[in-house]
Amino acid sequence: MKLISVLWMLGSLLFPQLLCADDSSAEYKIKAGYLYNFTKFINWSADNAETFNLCIAGDDPFGELIDPIEKLSVMGRPIKVFRFDSLKKMDEEPHCHILFVSPSIKDKLAVRSFDDTLLVGESGEFIYEGGMIGFVNKQGKIKLQINLKTITQSGLKISAKLLEVADVVKGINND
């Protein structure tokens, strides 16, 4: 529970201008903070990318709320946000380190290879369809579900601290 408070405080400090927005965007302010803070609790393999790429596939629920993240850096690299209409368009772009998959994307995640990419989504079935971290709304609060099998298969390593604050789903067969 402490870690959630710390993540929320970090998000508030990093995105103070977002706290002034209306209540209808509060959910996506929280999710944007989580996306940034995931960078501190996931270990990616070394790569030659000049930027740390956060990608949004499908309808963008964040809009301008996510844009301030581009003023931050991860692993000594500036963050760059990419937006895609479909998963197919991603093949032409730089590697995505974090990929937020909107519920509007109907492609099957499990049939694609997402090596070294953290897949995050928010649809109710996301975690069971090949997603790695799912945002779920429980009793009016944003909670995390983590599919440990898909994260391990992707080559990513997740911090035990992040696992402590999430519902860990083990052994889901995504084939």
What are the residue boundaries of the structural domains of the chain, listed by start? Answer: 2-60+68-169
Digit-coded pLDDT (tens) for 30-75: 999 999 999 999 998 888 889 999 999 999 999 999 999 999 999 9
Give the model's pLDDT for residue 111: 52
Hey, which of 109-113, 127-131, 143-147, 170-174 has the most confident mean pLDDT? 143-147
Q: Does residue 89 surpass a pLDDT of 80? A: no
Give the model's pLDDT for residue 17: 45
Q: Treating both helix axes as pointing N-terminal to C-terminal, what angle do 2-14 and 26-38 enclose, rounded to 10 degrees? A: 100
The letter for the amino acid at 148 is L
The CATH code that applies to domain 2-60+68-169 is 3.40.50
Task: Report the distance separating Cα 133 and Cα 127, nearest Å.
Answer: 7
Give the model's pLDDT for residue 106: 73
Q: What does DSSP say about strands 133-138 and 141-147: parallel, antiparallel, or unpaired?
A: antiparallel
Percent of the chain at pLDDT > 70 equals 77
